[in-house]
Amino acid sequence: MTSDYSTLSVKAIIERFLLLWLILLGIVAYCWTTWLPGLWDPFVGTEPYNKYVFSVTMLAIGSLLPRDEVREVLRRWPLVLGGTAVQFTAMPLLAYGCGVLFGLDEACMIGIIIVGCVPGAMASNVLTLAAKGNVSYSVSLTTSATLLSPVVVPLVLYAALSGWVPIDPVELGWKVFWISVQLLWMVVLPVIIGYIMSRCFAFWEEAAKRFAAIIANLTILWIIAVVIGAKRDMLDMLTWQVFLALLMVNLLGYLAGALGGTLLRLRSSMRRALTLEVGMQNAGLGVVLAGDFFKEFDLAVMPPVIYTFGCMFTGTLLARLWAEFGANEEANDDSTTVKTASPTNNQA
């Protein structure tokens, strides 16, 4: 009993103050070499292992997926495609519009458009869990967007940037394809393994209930800190317009996701998942694409780097607000369902 209470206390402290831990760890990652010069840098040193850390995160997420939630998402697969369509329509348009509005230079314009074109971030699955949203729907949206990205991303980038820089859409498509395969391997497979383990082994399911949320939150905090630490030297080279433009893309992305969820008539838990999925882009993929295909523009990699931290910051805040004050929203959904069902029951 004491052990269970301790685990719950740790989980509550991490989740309730997740935003604070994100800020503090981000500051430490940014200032590490200033505060401790000459000492081994754990943020830069562990960067190559980020993908393995994320696989552990997704294993924990998969272990927590409720069976009924998974069945509901599989049964309503058109809503997955609808949510993916919202993301790939809204985000490229928002990125291009905000880049033009703030008059960004060529390199930063390339970077912000890349942010808008890439699929949703894997971190959205973790924050959907923290927001008490529909995690199965979130994972399905991430998977759908990642599967479609080898076709969608090159086409959108070519349409938006071909007038400025030469782009080979076929070469770009192959690059995105292989990265997407790696992402699916890191995301979908661990989720499936975790889900199967919880269904087959009671001890695994019990352990997941106690520790999986803690593991998922701690690993995502470390991943974001590593991103900041690895690119700390380039952050001072950017203007305030870049930060403001990226913030606007992020916030309007959340708005687009919420409106899309309303148009698709999603329950509140699925609306939360779609909102976070649309606003949180896979900026890590954006960093790779900017570095490989736009090498002559050094700063093109920075908007995706900044967006990685920024969307985690705002997404964490949004998730905490939902976790604290979202109970009424769920209750309204349930009452609407009951009211809708009442005439049928009466007739019966």
Residue 261 belongs to domain with CATH number: 1.20.1530.20
Assess whether pLDDT exceeds 60 at residue 2: no
Using CA atoms, how far apart are residues 141 and 120, in angstroms rounded to an integer? 8
Using CA atoms, how far apart are residues 65 and 144, in angstroms rounded to an integer? 18
pLDDT tier at 346, thresholds 50, 70, 90: very low
DSSP 298: G
Q: Which residue has the tokens 């200032």?
A: 31
Looking at residue 122, what is its pLDDT? Answer: 73
Nearest to 126 by CA among 221, 31, 51: 221
> Mind listing the pLDDT tens digit for each residue in 196-249?
999 999 999 999 888 888 888 888 788 778 878 877 877 777 788 999 999 999
* Structural contact between residues 298 and 233, judged by C-beta atoms closer than 8 angstroms: no
> Mind listing the pLDDT tens digit for each residue in 88-116?
999 999 999 999 999 998 889 989 998 99
The whole model's pTM is what? Answer: 0.81
For residue 179, what are the contacts with CB-CB under 8 A and spacing of at least 6? 285, 288
Q: Does residue 300 sit within a domain?
A: yes
- The pLDDT > 70 percentage for the chain reads 91
Structure tokens given for 164: 């400025």
* Structural contact between residues 257 and 277, judged by C-beta atoms closer than 8 angstroms: yes
pLDDT tier at 302, thresholds 50, 70, 90: confident
Using CA atoms, how far apart are residues 288 and 179, in angstroms rounded to an integer? 9
Q: Please, what is the Cα angle at 271 between 269 and 273, to 5 degrees?
A: 75
Domain range holding 106?
49-323
Looking at residue 97, what is its pLDDT? Answer: 94
Separation in Å, CA 48 to CA 51, 117, 203: 7, 24, 32
| Amino acid type, 63 | S
pLDDT tier at 298, thresholds 50, 70, 90: confident
DSSP 34: H
> Mind listing the pLDDT tens digit for each residue in 49-100?
877 887 888 888 889 888 888 888 888 889 999 999 999 999 999 999 999 9
Q: Does residue 37 sit within a domain?
A: no
> Mind listing the pLDDT tens digit for each residue in 122-167?
788 888 988 989 999 998 998 888 888 888 888 888 887 777 777 7
Question: How many domains is the chain built from?
Answer: 1
Looking at residue 304, what is its pLDDT? Answer: 86
Q: Does residue 44 sit within a domain?
A: no
Q: Greater confidence, 264 or 10?
A: 264
Assess whether pLDDT exceeds 90 at residue 10: no
Does an H or E element contain 123, and which? helix 123-130
Q: Does residue 344 sit within a domain?
A: no
Q: Does residue 38 sit within a domain?
A: no
Assess whether pLDDT exceeds 50 at residue 42: yes
Radius of gyration of the chain (CA): 20
